[in-house]
Amino acid sequence: MKNYCFGIDVGGTTVKMGLFKTDGQLVDKWEIPTRTEDGGKAILPDTAAYALAKLMEKDIARDDVAGIGIGVPGPISADGIVPHTANLGWGYKEVTKELSELTGLTCRGGNDANVAALGEMWKGAAAGHKSGVMVTLGTGVGGGIIIDGRIVTGTNGAGGEIGHIHVDDSIPWLCGCGNQGCLEQVASANGIVRLAKWMLESKAKETVLDPETMTAKDIWDAVKDGDNFACEVAERFGSYLGLALANIASTVDPEVFVIGGGVSKAGPVILDYIKKYYIKYTFKGCRDAEFVLATLGNDAGIFGSAKLVIEE
């Protein structure tokens, strides 16, 4: 058994890199800028160079490295190919093959939201569980489905595209995906603000919130302060997310749901609103699923990517 591996999380601004022991101990982590110019052609060479340099620095033999796992912000096939990743500048790219050639190491890839889910299942909020679903409530709504310790990638890399579950015909805006009624439109950081504005349009409400400037954080702070309107928004948010997760439960029946991303920083109150409606809508056999807040934060991606190259 080799002792080390790398977990890489490629984002639009920085590449997060982690050197791990194969038992899951994080040895070192660092970031490098994501150079998206020229079709993002420097991203993988930069990543490879900093990985190999770290081995030199730590005096670790390449033979003692199990491999490199890499998470990318977009669909990636089981054999490590991305068709197109706009925010990295990439067109068609054989990511794992290229990174493997650059480093001489085994390489496996995954979608960023999916590997974050795997990270939380391995060493984060859901450690010890075999199957779980993570929802990342950030700029968008991402997700990952883990069954028996493995990511459900899906035929088109769309496994865990939870943000595009249809929750309400009446949502008036188009989603970036081209559909109407997507969860992302009412449950992401921007989505909850949009939801609040929409609810204010239909009826004027007394609230501490300023419709012009309010953020997701403002809304949850107001919920904690007992603002009636903010609590109505939280109920509506909870009903959408609870419904989506209930329908996921009738499909894959996970042990645990992990709620992460910026919106989840509001804390346990968010779980209360989600669970209330999850329990209302879910199949009775699934009512006891656990709900937990993510614990790895921005490190979930490097943990999950590292796990991709560790066999158990």
Cβ(19)–Cβ(300) below 8 Å: no
Closest CA to 119 of 136, 106, 105: 136
* Beta carbon nearer to a copy of itself, 85 or 153: 153
Closest CA to 43 of 1, 85, 106: 85
- Asked if 81 interacts with a copy of itself (CB under 8 A), we say no
> Shortest distance, CB of residue 133 to a copy of itself, whole angstroms?
8
- Asked if 255 interacts with a copy of itself (CB under 8 A), we say yes
Site for a copy of itself in 188-217 (CB under 8 A): none
- Asked if 120 interacts with a copy of itself (CB under 8 A), we say no
According to CB under 8 A, which one of 7, 18, 69, 75 is a site residue for a copy of itself? 75
- Number of residues interacting with a copy of itself: please give it, by CB under 8 A: 43
- Asked if 161 interacts with a copy of itself (CB under 8 A), we say yes
- Asked if 94 interacts with a copy of itself (CB under 8 A), we say no
- Asked if 274 interacts with a copy of itself (CB under 8 A), we say no
- Asked if 271 interacts with a copy of itself (CB under 8 A), we say no
* Beta carbon nearer to a copy of itself, 121 or 193: 121
Structure token pair of residue 9? 């999380």
> Shortest distance, CB of residue 242 to a copy of itself, whole angstroms?
10
Instruction: State the SS3 of the chain.
Output: CCCEEEEEEECCCEEEEEEEECCCCEEEEEEEECCCHHHHCCHHHHHHHHHHHHHHHHCCCHHHEEEEEEEECCCCCCCCEECCEHHHCECCEEHHHHHHHHHCCCEEEEEHHHHHHHHHHHHCCCCCCCCEEEEEECCCEEEEEEECCEECCCCCCCCCCHHHCECCCCCCCECCCCCECECHHHHCHHHHHHHHHHHHHHCCCCCCCCCCCCCHHHHHHHHHCCCHHHHHHHHHHHHHHHHHHHHHHHHHCCCEEEEECHHHHHCHHHHHHHHHHHHHHCCHHHCCCEEEECCCHHHHHHHHHHHHCCCC
- Asked if 262 interacts with a copy of itself (CB under 8 A), we say no
* Beta carbon nearer to a copy of itself, 7 or 261: 261
> Shortest distance, CB of residue 18 to a copy of itself, whole angstroms?
28
Alpha-carbon distance 104 to 16, whole Å?
A: 20
> Shortest distance, CB of residue 115 to a copy of itself, whole angstroms?
16
> Shortest distance, CB of residue 117 to a copy of itself, whole angstroms?
12
According to CB under 8 A, which one of 32, 200, 252, 293 is a site residue for a copy of itself? 252
> Shortest distance, CB of residue 38 to a copy of itself, whole angstroms?
27
Cβ(302)–Cβ(11) below 8 Å: no
According to CB under 8 A, which one of 113, 243, 258, 274 is a site residue for a copy of itself? 243
Binding characters for a copy of itself, 25-64, by CB under 8 A (x = yes):
----------------------------------------
Which of 86-94, 97-105, 156-164, 294-302 is the region at the interface with a copy of itself (rule: CB under 8 A)? 156-164
Residues of this chain that interact with a copy of itself (CB under 8 A) are 75, 131, 145, 147, 152-162, 164-166, 177-179, 181, 243-244, 246-255, 280-286, 288-289
